[in-house]
Amino acid sequence: SLANVSLTSEPSLQNGLDLALKSLKVVPSHASREIVIIMGSLTTCDPVDINITIDELKKEGIRCSVISLSAEIHVARYLTQQTMGTFGAVLDDAHFRDQLMSQVDPPPAAKTQHNSLIRMGFPHTKNEVEGKDAPLSMCMCHIENLEEPSELTTTGHHCPQCNSKY
């Protein structure tokens, strides 16, 4: 069982960063993509050069911040500098709480980030069109369904954006 596993090996900062990088690559760029590392070790045992992973994080625009429970670690400081994150070495319990709470609010969005709004609305029911009976039509959700063929009706829910019937 997991309770009997011995946790005596050295941590790998690179393996953790690679795992987080794979998860965050699919997040859209206008969202907050960041990693917060709480590290208690003075060493990291990485399989290959960690600079490759740091360069990939920088290229993907993923912000990395480190809270060190021990002394300052050069590779952790370098990681935060390259990815525009923050680094803090904890002095005591109150300082740890302050460091952790500083990570709660997301960083301000960059002015160059592109995002767009999609016009949305709730579908409405149309019974008549300008005082006349509505024309017969099929709903779009059943038009290609062979198991439940769509029937021609005059009523239905219409999209406010494209006026399609559903």
Write down the domain spans for the chain: 9-101, 121-166
> What CATH topology corresponds to 9-101?
Rossmann fold (3.40.50)
Instruction: State the Cα–Cα distance between residues 49 and 17, nearest whole angstrom.
Output: 13
pLDDT digits (tens, 9 = 90+) for 92-130: 999 999 999 999 987 776 665 566 666 666 666 765 555
Q: Which two tokens stand for residue 111?
A: 């002015």
Could you give the angle at which helices 13-24 and 74-82 cross, rounded to 10 degrees?
A: 20
Average pLDDT, the chain: 83
pLDDT higher than threshold 90 for residue 65: yes
10 Å CB burial of residue 8 (0-12, 13-18, 19+) is exposed
Other C-beta atoms closer than 10 Å to the C-beta of 84 total: 15
Closest CA to 158 of 142, 132, 139, 135: 139
**According to the model, what pLDDT value does residue 117 have?**
66
- Indicate the DSSP class of residue 110: P
Structural contact between residues 65 and 93, judged by C-beta atoms closer than 8 angstroms? no
